[in-house]
Amino acid sequence: MTRELKQEVVEANKRLVSSGLVALTWGNVSAIDRQTGLIAIKPSGVPYEDLTSENLVVLDLAGNVVEGELRPSSDTKTHLEIYRKFEGVGAVVHTHSPSATAFSQAGKGLPCLGTTHADHFYGTVPVARALTAEEVQEDYEHATGVSIVERFEELSLNPIEMPAVLLHHHAPFTWGKTAAKAVDNSVALEMCCRMALDSYRLDPSLEAIPQHILDQHYQRKHGKNAYYGQGGV
């Protein structure tokens, strides 16, 4: 686990605050070094302003702490399950951002209503099912991760094309290749949820964007012939 990757995790966690995604300590970011299989994650309950690369917790994929004196985030087992099953993921973010959490609490997926959404998420952002009483009692955070993976398998979703999920009764998770990109996806998800809520107020019968427009906007930014931005610059 490099110091550079740890610092990326610190900066990404602090950006949750500056981006307006979290209040109090309602969120966390982790990142994985795929070569070593080690994960750095925010320690539980530590204020973002106090976070440093020295007080991050480093774990292996089995959840064993290999570095750090503090308890890792209470959501650690969810992060670990995502890393274990979604191999292309390099970082995971959990927040309770207001609009995305509203969709989560209502158990409503986020349809793609326009091109802003299509630039980031290839279709409807799914809802993972509510957990059973037995799952909550046995291992709540691990079961949360299992429910996410289960939902993606049910819908045959590619987690790289759909880097977000809404947990019923809970809140969102996002991910990406880097910690910075995972936070970008949390910002995008929150903004898309906010715009969707406003759009539904204007027209409760609003339907999803036509597939050909969704395809165009997603592929021009993420497809093999993408032409959005400056390439390798």
Using only C-alpha atoms, what is the Rg of the chain?
17
Average pLDDT over residues 211-225: 90
Task: Give catalytic status of residue 228 as yes or no.
Answer: yes
pLDDT tens digits, one per residue of 29-46 = 999 999 999 999 999 999
* Within-domain flag for 146: yes
> Residue 221's pLDDT band (boundaries 50, 70, 90)?
confident
CATH number at residue 46: 3.40.225.10
pLDDT tens digits, one per residue of 189-210 = 999 999 999 999 999 999 999 9
* Within-domain flag for 55: yes
Q: How many domains in the chain?
A: 1
* Within-domain flag for 214: no
Q: Which of 48, 83, 119, 218 is catalytic?
A: 119
Task: Give catalytic status of residue 119 as yes or no.
Answer: yes
* Within-domain flag for 155: yes
**E-assigned strand segments in the chain:** 27-33, 38-41, 57-60, 65-67, 91-95, 127-128, 164-167, 172-176
pLDDT tens digits, one per residue of 152-175 = 999 999 999 999 999 999 999 999
Q: Which of 60, 139, 198, 228 is catalytic?
A: 228
> Residue 107's pLDDT band (boundaries 50, 70, 90)?
very high
pTM of the model: 0.95
Find all residues with CB under 8 Å of 146, minimum gap 6, and list them.
81, 135
* Within-domain flag for 171: yes
* Within-domain flag for 226: no
Domain that residue 190 falls in: 3-207
pLDDT tens digits, one per residue of 77-92 = 999 999 999 999 999 9
What are the structure tokens assigned to 39, written together? 């994960």
